[in-house]
Amino acid sequence: MSLNVAITGLHAADNPAPGLGVIRCLHHPKKWDGKIIGLAYDVLDTGIYDEGLLDHAYLIPYPNTGSKAFLERLQYIHQQEQIDVIIPTLDSELTVFQKIAPELKSLGIATFIPPKHITDRISKSQLAEFCESENIPYPETIVIKDPGELKAAVKKIGFPLMIKGVYYEAYTCKSMEDVHQYFELLRLKWGLPMILQKKLDSEEFDVCCVSDKNGDLLGAVPIRKTRLTDKGKAWAAVTLKNEQLMELSRRILKKLKWSGPCEVEILKDKKTGEYNLIEINPRFPAWIYLSTGADQNLPKMVIELAMDKTVSPMAPAKSGICFVRHATDLVCPMDYIENLTMLGELHYKSSE
């Protein structure tokens, strides 16, 4: 059956969004049967101009514009392109998609994302509580709600430690001066609460997972990032065979009853050898295309799940597969930019 799939997160500049990787998975091993519709937030979202990947591109409102405007725009695009499934890939979109999921469903558009009460449990300020109550190992964490608590918390955790904003940004602190400096910086930007976390002498691993509506793990690709950009994003990585990573991920998703894709970030404490959960990103990672090499096409699996198919667990990912991120320049005529700017959409001829 040919399905029309819409995907967000098309901007791949210095901090690539996952949408393009998802699309490339769909085109693997051969070109996707239905239409691929790119949903972009800016005329210069780079992926729009990767001609072979998309059939159509549309601009959509930012989620903060309001769910009504967001839904209306998707309705319009649906009328043009008959969308079967949407795969959102950005953290900032999750709430709006959770909110409009019922309306999308009644329009005949499927999504496969976890509900809000589940994603709330893994928010930065709630995660420690979740780990505590479900007996999941995690680095010692204190959530700071009042500047007055800072000193005692630092004393309790000790150096080095990580200081994290509620939504974004994290810094390593080695001294009280560092703590004060970053505390002020994060407070201005993101306010409180703030998260203090012990920085373990550790190795970092990521597992891209997909689980079904009971939270049962169906596919997972564990990796080690072998090279990072100065922003800490993966630029090279290798897939692993590691039962402990798999086991911990499986346990976490089952406890959460997670349904959908996610990226689980895990640290292995060099001293104790223990695996600790540090974060769960409620979406595919930007390196998701690597999953095709490991014989686990997780985006295709999510589409099956969205279409309510029964999906059985995949064989373990193939280990020893690598990826290197490679930036390239795309060339296009001014017409493309004009179309998107003036009409908010772009249609590639090849798809007609």
Partner 1 sequence: MKQEKKSYVKPTIVRHSVGVTNKYGRPPATVPMSRLNGFDVKELVNEYGSPLYVLSVEQLRQNYQDMFRAFSTRYPGARIAYSYKTNYLKAVCSILHSEGALAEVVSGFEYDIARNLAMPGEKIIFNGPYKTRDELARAFTDGAMVNIDNYDEIQVCEEVADELGRKFPVGVRVNMDLNNPPWHKFGFNVEAGHAYEAVKRIQSGGKLDVKGLHIHVGTYVDDVNIYSMAAQGLVNFYTVIKEQLGIKLKYWDMGGGYASHNTLNWAWQSAEYTCPTFDQYAEAICPILLKGPFQAAEAPRLFLEPGRALVDEPISMITTVVSQKRLPGGKRGVIVDAGMNVLSSVQWYNYNCQTVQDSGLTLEDTILYGGLCMNIDVLRQNAVLPPLRRGELLVIPHIGAYNLSQSWQFIYLRPAVIAIDNGKIHLIKASETREYVQEMESVPKEFNTYSIANKN
Partner 2 sequence: MSEIFKSEVTLSENGFLFDHGSGLTYTLNTTGQFIFRQLQSGQKSKQIMEKMLDEFEVIEETARKDLDDFFRQLNELGLIDL
Sheet holding 260-269, edge to edge: 275-281, 260-269, 202-211, 217-228, 234-239, 322-324
Residue 232 binds which of partner 2, partner 1, none (CB < 5-8 A, kind-dependent)? none
- Alpha helices per DSSP H over the chain: 19-26, 67-81, 94-107, 116-121, 127-134, 150-157, 176-190, 243-256, 290-293, 298-306, 334-343
Binder of partner 1 out of 13, 15, 31, 66 (CB under 8 A): 66
Smallest distance from partner 2 to CB 58, Å: 17
Count how many Cα atoms sit within 13 Å of the Cα of residue 46 in the half-sphere of its side chain: 15
Residue 319 interaction partner, one of partner 2, partner 1, none, beta carbon < 5-8 Å per kind: none
CB of 333: closest distance to partner 2 in angstroms? 11
| 207-226 residues near partner 2, rule: CB under 8 A | none
At position 122, the amino acid (one-letter code) is I
Nearer to partner 1 by Cβ, of 52 and 147: the residue is: 147
For residues 318-337, which are near partner 2 according to CB under 8 A? Answer: 334, 337
The tokens of 48 are what?
């729009």
Q: Is the peptide bond before 102 cis (omega within 30 degrees of 0)?
A: no
**4 touches 81 (CB < 8 A):** yes
Report the nearest approach of partner 1 to the CB of residue 268 (Å).
32
The one of partner 1, partner 2, none whose footprint includes residue 59, by CB under 5 to 8 A per kind, is: partner 1
Please tell me the distance from the alpha carbon of residue 344 to that of residue 57, in angstroms, as a whole number: 8
Q: Distance (Å, rounded) from C-alpha 235 to C-alpha 326?
A: 8
Nearer to partner 2, 331 or 342 (CB): 342
CA distance 142 to 124: 11
CB of 131: closest distance to partner 1 in angstroms? 17
162 binds partner 1 (CB under 8 A): no
Q: Say whether residue 244 binds partner 1 (CB under 8 A).
A: no
Which residues in the 178-197 window bind partner 1 by CB under 8 A?
190-193
Closer residue to partner 1 in complex, CB, 193/293: 193
CB of 99 to partner 1, least distance (A): 7
Which of partner 1, partner 2, none binds 13 (CB below 5-8 Å, type-dependent)? none
Nearer to partner 2, 33 or 338 (CB): 338
How far apart are the C-alpha atoms of 300 and 22, rounded to whole Å?
9
Contact window for partner 1 (CB under 8 A) among 26-34, 94-102, 132-140, 218-226: 94-102
As given in the structure block, the two tokens for residue 121 are 């449990």
Q: Are 60 and 41 in contact (CB under 8 A)?
A: yes
Interface with partner 1 (CB under 8 A)? 40-44, 59-67, 69, 73, 92, 95-96, 99, 145-147, 167, 190-193, 340-342, 344
Interface with partner 2 (CB under 8 A)? 334, 337-338, 341-343
